């Protein structure tokens, strides 16, 4: 996939010999993609529950997956392979300029319950496959390439999302070490039982001055690329999220004897709000709002709902857009409750800021996509990623890869093709070849 005519497709200049050595031709990219698919299949053999892919933090399946990833890195030709104090798998492939800050990439290898083979794991396996191509011909990038398999992102076992990437970012919450799983096992005890050293976590934090950038390759987890017939997309921003639990209290009453005009129906009030959320969040591009949980506690077929509880999740690539939508929704909740005689209690449970991708890295990803022969496209990420934590210490960029099966993710039907994995390998190699550390 080296650019035709020995020039970059975006016309920025000649390809140097060092850059050309780091790019993959069509056959090499295809081979790397096929290797990624085979590795993902093999990695999926390690699971906490036979018959489904579930890998929680520091279970036997998680430890087996960690060992397999380290072995893949060694076989690929990494100069250094290690497991850090929190269980991250780290491989380093030395650059031509060892004093230059590292280009760090990676994603997580834990899963949700009954999840898919590529969420997170694609972003670990794909750079390993590209490094294998480099090592086979002795090619070295300018910057040391550090590939991280983050040990925990999903929070399945300890409800501790971004545990592993927060350790690298220097923002690890040491209070989590006292948290217990469903069996009563403390996190720090579990870590020590597996040879990890929780007391050494702080020492594993990266010096921001030694990280040129963090980039992540990830399946889109949505249908946009699929519907547009495109394999790859550059991510513009990772959506910020705010979550609220809403508890409404009306008056329960007999369903047959209470006139409609005299009811204080908490369920009907919630229904009004749900529809408002849909209307408000459909009014702007890239703004999304979801009521994912909705319940009538103690409800009965012949009783007017005296209480209703629901969750609210609002996301957007820009915090101001998200916050304005949430304020409108909260105002609507207050108005509906006043009109219907309903009491309301709000619990704000999450406020995660958006993580914009650095403009220079976005431009470099667009050029890398173009180098594969595809027109560049940008889109936001509605899901959270390890890149959000790494943004605390370094500029971030992301490459999305098309999902099949309607774009479904967090599901056994999650899939990508070897062809698309190959296109992503070609784009990743082109990105590394032409990488320039962005201004901070």
Same-domain check for residues 229 and 244: no
What three-state secondary structure class fits 201?
Answer: coil
- Residue 300 maps to a domain: yes
Q: Looking at the structure, do residues 382 and 345 belong to the same domain, yes or no?
A: no
Least confident span in 260-264, 366-370, 381-385: 381-385
> Is position 277 within any domain?
yes
pLDDT of residue 14: 67
Secondary structure class of 228 (helix, strand, coil): helix
Instruction: Report the pLDDT value the prediction gives residue 16, as an integer from 0 to 100.
Output: 87
pTM over 0.85: yes
Same domain, residue pair 196 and 280: no
Q: Which of 353, 351, 403, 398 is nearest to 378 (CA)?
A: 398
Name the phi and psi angles at 50, rounded to 5.
-55, 140
Domain boundary among the residues 302, 329, 352 is at: 352
- In this structure, is residue 124 part of a structural domain? yes
Average pLDDT, the chain: 95
Q: What is the dihedral of CA 273, 279, 283, 288, to 10 degrees?
A: 60
In a domain, 438, yes or no: no
Q: Are residues 177 and 140 in the same domain?
A: yes
If asked whether residues 27 and 70 sit together in one domain, one would say yes
Residue 164 resides in a domain: yes
> Are both 79 and 173 inside the same structural domain?
yes
Domain boundary among 294, 326, 352: 352
Same domain for 382 and 423? yes
What pLDDT is attached to residue 139? 96
For residues 350 and 243, the answer to whether their CB atoms sit within 8 Å is yes
Average pLDDT over residues 120-148: 97
Query: How many domains would you assign to the chain?
Result: 2
Tally of helices (H runs) and strands (E runs) in the chain: 12, 16
Distance CA 139, CA 150 (A): 26
Query: Alpha-carbon distance 155 to 12, whole Å?
Result: 43
128 and 425 in contact (C-beta within 8 Å)?
A: no
Residues 348 and 359 in one domain: no
Class of residue 383 by CB neighbours under 10 A (exposed 0-12, middle 13-18, buried 19+): middle
pLDDT band at 36; cut points 50, 70, 90: very high
Same domain, 274 and 226: no
One domain for residues 183 and 74: yes
Based on the number of CB atoms within 10 Å of its own CB, is 203 exposed (0-12), middle (13-18) or buried (19 or more)? exposed
pLDDT at 306: 98
**DSSP 3-state percent helix, strand, coil across the chain (nearest 5):** 40, 20, 40
Here the CATH number for the domain that contains residue 75 is 3.40.630.10
| DSSP helix/strand/coil, 162 | coil
Residue 84, beta-bridge partner list: none
> In degrees to the nearest 10, what's the CA dihedral of 406, 409, 413, 417?
70
Q: What is residue 203's DSSP assignment?
A: G
Q: pLDDT grade, residue 118 (50/70/90)?
A: very high
Same domain, 341 and 362: no
For 366, residues 6+ apart whose C-beta sits below 8 A from its C-beta are: 10, 234, 376, 378
CATH of the domain at 255: 3.30.70.360
Per-residue confidence (pLDDT) for residue 157, from 0 to 100: 96
- Nearest to residue 123, comparing CAs of 147, 93, 140, 145? 147
Q: How far is CA 235 from CA 61, 95, 218, 386, 401, in A?
A: 31, 26, 10, 14, 10
Q: Is residue 127 part of a domain?
A: yes
Structural domain of residue 216, as residue ranges?
A: 4-238+354-433
Residue 18 has a pLDDT of: 86
- Based on the fold, state whether residues 52 and 137 are members of the same structural domain: yes
Q: What is the pLDDT of residues 273-325, one digit of tens each?
A: 999 999 999 999 999 999 999 999 999 999 999 999 999 999 999 999 999 99
Task: Summarize pLDDT for 349-364 with one digit per residue, the tens.
Answer: 889 899 999 999 999 9
DSSP state of 377: -
Residues 44, 50, 51, 56, CA torsion sign: negative
User: Which tokens sit at 108?
Assistant: 């997580």
Mean per-residue pLDDT for 238-266? 96
Percentage of the chain beyond pLDDT 90 is: 92
Percent of the chain topping pLDDT 70? 97
Dmax (CA) of the chain: 84
Give domain status of residue 439, yes or no: no
Residue 13 in contact with residue 7, Cβ under 8 Å?
yes
Q: Is residue 440 part of a domain?
A: no
Mean pLDDT of 403-415: 94
Task: Flag whether pLDDT at 368 surpasses 50.
Answer: yes
Which of 352, 385, 414 terminates a domain? The answer is 352
Pull the structure tokens for residue 71.
């072995």
Phi/psi at 387 (nearest 5 deg)?
-55, -25
Distances (CA, A) of 10 to 153, 362, 363: 35, 14, 10
12 pLDDT higher than 70 = no
pLDDT digits (tens, 9 = 90+) for 154-194: 999 998 889 999 999 999 999 999 999 999 999 999 999 99
- Quote the pLDDT of residue 13: 54
């Amino acid at each position: 996939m080296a650019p035709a005519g020995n020039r970059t497709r975006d016309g920025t200049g000649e390809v140097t010999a060092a850059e050309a050595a780091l790019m993959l031709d069509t056959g090499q990219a295809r081979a790397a993609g096929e290797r990624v698919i085979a590795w993902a299949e093999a990695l999926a053999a390690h699971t906490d529950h036979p018959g489904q892919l579930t890998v929680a933090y520091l279970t036997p399946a998680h430890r087996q997956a960690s060992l397999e990833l380290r072995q893949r890195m060694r076989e690929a030709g990494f100069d250094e392979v290690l497991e850090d104090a929190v269980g991250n798998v780290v491989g380093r492939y030395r650059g031509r300029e060892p004093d230059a800050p590292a280009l760090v990439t990676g994603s997580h290898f834990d899963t949700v319950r009954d999840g898919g083979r590529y969420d997170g794991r694609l972003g670990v396996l794909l750079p390993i496959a590209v490094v294998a191509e480099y090592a086979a011909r002795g090619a070295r990038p300018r910057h040391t390439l550090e590939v991280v398999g983050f040990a925990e992102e999903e929070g399945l076992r300890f409800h501790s999302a971004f545990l592993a990437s927060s350790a690298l970012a220097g923002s690890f919450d040491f209070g989590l070490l006292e948290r217990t799983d469903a069996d009563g096992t403390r996190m720090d005890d579990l870590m020590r039982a597996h040879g990890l050293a929780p007391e050494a976590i702080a020492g594993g934090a990266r010096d921001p001055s030694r990280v040129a950038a963090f980039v992540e390759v990830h399946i889109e987890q949505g249908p946009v690329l699929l519907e547009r017939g495109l394999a790859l997309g550059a991510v513009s921003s990772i959506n910020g999220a705010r979550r609220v639990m809403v508890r409404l209290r009306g008056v329960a009453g007999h369903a047959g004897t209470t006139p409609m005009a005299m009811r204080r129906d908490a369920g009907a009030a919630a229904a009004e709000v749900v529809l408002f959320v849909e209307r408000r969040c459909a009014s702007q591009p890239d703004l999304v709002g979801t009521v994912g949980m909705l319940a009538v506690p103690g409800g009965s077929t012949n009783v007017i709902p005296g209480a209703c509880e629901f969750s609210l999740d609002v996301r957007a690539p820009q915090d101001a857009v998200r916050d304005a939508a949430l304020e409108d929704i909260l105002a609507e909740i207050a108005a509906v409750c006043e009109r219907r005689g309903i009491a309301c209690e709000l619990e704000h449970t999450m406020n995660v800021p958006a993580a914009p991708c650095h403009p220079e890295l976005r431009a470099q990803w667009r050029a890398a996509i173009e180098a594969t022969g595809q027109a560049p496209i940008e889109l936001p990420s509605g899901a959270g990623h390890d890149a959000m934590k790494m943004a605390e210490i370094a500029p971030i960029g992301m490459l999305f890869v098309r999902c099949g099966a309607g774009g479904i993710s967090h599901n056994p039907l999650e899939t990508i093709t070897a062809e698309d994995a190959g296109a992503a390998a070609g784009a990743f190699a082109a990105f590394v070849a032409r990488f320039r550390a962005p201004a901070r």
